[in-house]
C-alpha cells in the first residue's frame, strides 16, 4: 500500500502571534486562546487534548482525553488510575499535553508533571457525571483485554440493576490528575510556513522565560 501525500498543501493565514504582545504568564494566553476558539470555531472540540506518556515498555504513547478544568496551577483531566496511562504516569510523571485547533490554525504544546488531585475533588467531579458515565467507569477495567463487547454491556446492565435507586460511589481507582506546566509553546500558523512559535519556560524563581522560536 502506498499513497504520495507530498502535494497536500495548506496556507495558514488566520492570525499572528507577536512576542511583544504576549502576557508574562502563559496561562493567561491559554485562557485567551481557549475562549476565542470556543466562541468562534464551534467545529472544534475545544477541550480535547492529546496526552503523551512514556509507557512501561519504554515507548511514548499519545491518546486524546478531555480537559475538565484549568487554573493558574495547571490542567486537570480524569481517568482510571489503573489504566495504561495511569500506570505510565505512576512510573514517570513527566507528560506532554497538546491542543490542535485546526479552525483557528493554532497549537499549544505543554510539558509538565502530572500528579493526582485531592480525593474530595475527584469525588465532586464524579458526582457531577451522568449515571451512565459513572457506571461505565466501574464497568470498564480500562486497558485490560476484553473478550467482546457483549461482556462489557452485560457488566453495565448488571451494575444498572445493582445501583438502581442508589448513589453510585466513586471507585478508588478512578480520579483526576493535574498537569503542572514547566514549558508551554504557542503555535500560530502563518503563510509560507513561517509560523509564529512563542515558548514559555518556567525558571527556578517561578517566573517565565519567553522566547520566539524559528518555525
In a domain, 150, yes or no: no
Within a domain: 2: no
pLDDT at residue 4 is higher than 90 = no
Q: pLDDT band at 12, cuts 50/70/90?
A: confident
Residue 108 falls inside a structural domain: yes
What pLDDT, in 10s, does the model give residues 73-100?
999 999 999 999 999 999 999 999 999 9
Q: Are the C-beta atoms of 106 and 37 separated by less than 8 Å?
A: yes
**Digit-coded pLDDT (tens) for 148-184:** 999 899 988 999 999 999 999 999 999 999 999 999 9
- pLDDT > 90: what percent of the chain? 86
Examine residue 131 and state whether it is found in any structural domain, yes or no. Answer: no
pTM flag (> 0.95): no
Q: pLDDT at residue 42 above 90?
A: no
- By CB atoms closer than 10 A (0-12, 13-18, 19+), residue 50 is middle
pLDDT at 169: 95
Pairing state of beta strands 69-70 and 75-80? Answer: antiparallel
Marked catalytic residue, from 9, 129, 149, 193: 193
Task: Look at residue 44 and tell me whether its pLDDT is greater than 80.
Answer: no
| Confidence (pLDDT) at 75 | 98
Can you give the pLDDT at residue 9? 79
Answer yes or no: is 105 within a domain: yes
Residue scoring higher pLDDT (65 or 146): 65
Count CB-CB contacts under 10 A for residue 100.
15
pLDDT at 84: 97
**Residue 187 pLDDT:** 98
- State residue 107's pLDDT score: 98
Query: Which pLDDT score, from 0 to 100, does residue 5 have?
Result: 80
pLDDT of res. 95: 98
Domain-embedded: residue 79: yes
Give a yes or no: residue 145 inside a domain.
no
Distance between CA atoms of residues 100 and 122, nearest Å: 27
DSSP string for residues in the chain? -----TT------S----GGGS-SSHHHHHHHHHHHHHHH-TTS-TTEEEEEEE-TTS-EEEEEEE--EE-SS-EEEEEETTSHHHHHHHH--EEEEEEEETTTTEEEEEEEEEEEPPHHHHHHHHHHS-HHHHHHHHH--TTS--S-HHHHHHHHHHHHHHTTTSPPPPPTTEEEEEEEEEEEEEEE--GGG--EEEEEEE-TTS-EEEEEE--
Full domain range(s) for residue 185:
19-122+173-213
pLDDT bucket at 8, cuts 50 / 70 / 90: confident
Spatial contact of 85 and 79, defined as CB atoms under 8 Å apart: yes
Q: Chain-wide mean pLDDT for the chain?
A: 95
Whether 199 is a known active-site residue: answer no
Q: Can you give the CATH number for the domain in which 209 is found?
A: 2.30.110.10
pLDDT reading at 142 higher than 90? no
Band the pLDDT of 122: cuts 50, 70, 90: very high
Residue 48: inside a domain: yes
Domain count of the fold of the chain: 1
Amino acid at each position: 500500500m502506498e499513497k504520495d501525500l507530498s502535494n497536500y498543501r495548506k496556507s495558514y493565514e488566520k492570525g499572528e502571534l507577536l512576542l511583544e504582545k504576549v502576557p508574562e504568564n502563559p496561562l493567561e494566553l491559554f485562557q485567551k486562546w481557549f475562549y476565542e476558539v470556543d466562541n468562534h470555531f464551534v467545529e472544534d472540540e475545544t477541550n480535547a487534548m492529546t496526552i503523551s506518556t512514556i509507557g512501561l515498555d519504554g515507548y511514548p504513547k499519545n491518546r486524546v482525553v478531555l480537559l475538565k478544568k484549568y487554573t493558574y496551577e495547571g490542567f486537570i483531566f480524569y481517568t482510571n488510575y489503573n489504566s495504561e496511562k495511569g500506570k505510565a504516569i505512576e512510573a514517570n510523571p513527566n507528560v506532554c499535553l497538546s491542543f490542535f485547533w485546526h479552525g483557528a490554525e493554532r497549537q499549544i504544546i505543554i510539558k509538565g508533571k502530572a500528579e493526582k488531585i485531592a480525593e474530595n475533588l475527584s469525588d465532586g467531579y464524579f458526582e457531577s457525571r451522568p449515571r451512565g458515565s459513572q457506571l461505565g467507569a466501574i464497568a470498564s477495567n480500562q486497558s485490560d483485554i476484553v473478550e467482546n463487547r457483549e461482556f462489557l454491556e452485560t457488566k453495565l446492565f448488571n451494575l444498572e440493576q445493582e445501583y438502581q435507586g442508589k448513589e453510585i460511589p466513586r471507585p478508588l481507582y478512578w480520579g483526576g490528575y493535574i498537569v503542572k506546566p514547566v514549558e508551554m509553546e504557542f503555535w500560530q500558523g502563518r503563510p509560507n510556513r513561517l509560523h509564529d512559535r512563542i515558548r514559555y519556560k518556567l525558571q527556578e524563581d517561578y517566573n517565565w522565560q519567553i522566547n520566539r522560536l524559528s518555525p
